[in-house]
Amino acid sequence: MMSILVAFLINASVFSVNGIGEDLSVFRAPFLKAINIGQLGFTINPEYTLLAQDGDYRGIFWTNPLKFAISAPLLGGFSIMAGNLERFSQNYDIYVRDSSLQIHALGEGGIEEIYAGINKRLGNFDIVATGSFLFGNAWEIWNYTISGYTIVDTFLYRYRGRIFNVGVKHGLFSVAYEGFGQTRMIKLEQDTVMIDLAQRLTVGLYPRIGQWSLGLLYGHSFWNNDNYDSPHRFRIQALRGPLGVALMYNPWYIKDVNEYGVDVDYAIPLRNVGSAQLRMTIALRERDGVREFKFAPQLTLVLNELFARRRKQ
């Protein structure tokens, strides 16, 4: 019986070898946190992932690419926004062996996202619409060693696509729909494959109990592909002052992969500048006896009214 002895995980999971990689967009909502002021945000998100199977443990530390987001209010209750995100990660480094066969599979790349959108305030409601351009490159190298002989297969992919978001938010609830998503996967020296991305419905409730602000999020993805699951996801969060805690259940679209996690957030105000937002994410992923432990600190620097301050100068 083969066992996974080594798994160097680069900004992703060992399970990213399946499908089109790890979906990094779950629980994301298109809504702005502030609509009356301009904001510029930068996020850095290092990650350490530990793989465990049959008493073997291996892991690696990695710093993910810098992300940014910008928003600004306009006249008539409108606001605009833009930024970049990671959509799917196909990074993995896996070594498998038994008595006669060794397999070393190495993958890197994925699908990135650049988005732009507009928000309209109507009374107590916010209506938002965004569109995203999806792009990226990925490659895989598979090394097979049998009785001293090595066979190497190399695969190169290029992605181009788009996806759209619409949503409505009130102080007590929100509804967001993501759809019309599609990407072209262009394989080297092979035909182009069109991939229909999942539609996603996300519903949120935001009650307040005493000094605590609660958030209850439910998400359901609809994949038009028999090879993928259409999972139900849940996230419960509680905020009080600068401190926030969230629990999440995130079954993957890749069959039989389940993820359970906790986020701890703390916001530090920066006088006359904005805020620094700290987050620590700890998650467990598992499938067929393979377990991954993810530790991901995150730092977001948010600058408020940057453009207004420049005009005053």
Q: Report whether pLDDT(5) > 60.
A: no
- Reported as a single tens digit per residue, the pLDDT across 243-271 is 999 999 999 999 899 999 999 999 999 98
Instruction: Assign residue 173 the CATH number of its domain.
Output: 2.40.160.60
Residues 90, 92, 97, 102, CA torsion sign:
positive
Scan for tokens 């916010």, then name that residue. 126
In the three-class reduction of DSSP (H, G, I as helix; E, B as strand; rest coil), residue 9 is classed as coil
Q: What is the domain extent for residue 165?
A: 3-312
The model's pTM: 0.86
Q: What is the mean pLDDT of residues 124-143?
A: 94
Output the pLDDT for position 187.
84
* pLDDT score of 91: 80
CB 242 within 8 A of CB 211: no
Residues 276-304 pLDDT 10s = 999 999 999 998 878 888 899 999 999 99
Strand duo 92-97 + 39-44: pairing: unpaired
> Tokens 């389940």 correspond to what residue?
258
**Non-local CB neighbours of 302 within 8 Å, separated by 6+ positions:** 39, 40, 41, 274, 275, 276, 277
Both tokens of residue 191? 């035909």
| Number of domains the chain is built from | 1
How many Cβ atoms are within 10 Å of 241's Cβ, its own excluded?
A: 10
